[in-house]
Amino acid sequence: MKRYIISISLAVIVVVAAFLFMGTYSRYQRLHATLNQAEREWRILSRQQAELQAKNRILARTRSFVERAKSLGLERNRWDTYEVEIKEPVTFPEAREILSQTGSGGSYYFIPRYLHMTKDLSQMKEGAGSAKTAKPDDASGPKKGDVLMDLKGSFLVRAR
């Protein structure tokens, strides 16, 4: 009989130990999942904080630039804008002259938006949506050129 009592006692101890182990292991898994989630959130927050600091540095440099520009008199209402749109055949010397004028100087700046030059003059189409073909002073027909120039941009000129 003593053996049965010892066997039953050991069986009860094993069952209680297994129950306690399973409860503890389940709690460990929940805490481990919570820890992984917290670490993921920490990495996300750290990355967002770094991005915020980078954006704040950019914003500070931009503010500094704007303040410096204002101190030099570079305000929007003190500049006039002139749009440029050329789409016509030009000779090489004319193209060189036009491109040299699209630089920037002390009182004007050129903002290019589009430049395309091609030697295929057949791309020049007349129509409502396209630019007009330039005519020479004697109006004897379409202008001859070496290349077709398509230039769009704006000149910013200091107002006086």
Model confidence pLDDT, tens digit, residues 40-65:
999 999 999 999 999 999 999 999 99
Does pLDDT of 134 surpass 70?
A: no
Q: How do residues 59-118 score in pLDDT, each as one tens digit?
A: 999 999 988 888 877 777 778 888 999 999 999 999 999 888 888 777 788 889 999 998
pLDDT value for 135 = 44
Structure tokens at 103: 């630089």
Which pTM does this prediction carry? Answer: 0.43
Cα R_g (the chain), whole angstroms? 39
How far lies 104's CA from each of 73, 84, 157, in Å? Answer: 17, 14, 10
Q: Which residues contact 123 (CB under 8 A, 6 or more apart)?
A: 148
Q: How do residues 15-42 score in pLDDT, each as one tens digit?
A: 999 999 999 999 999 999 999 999 999 9
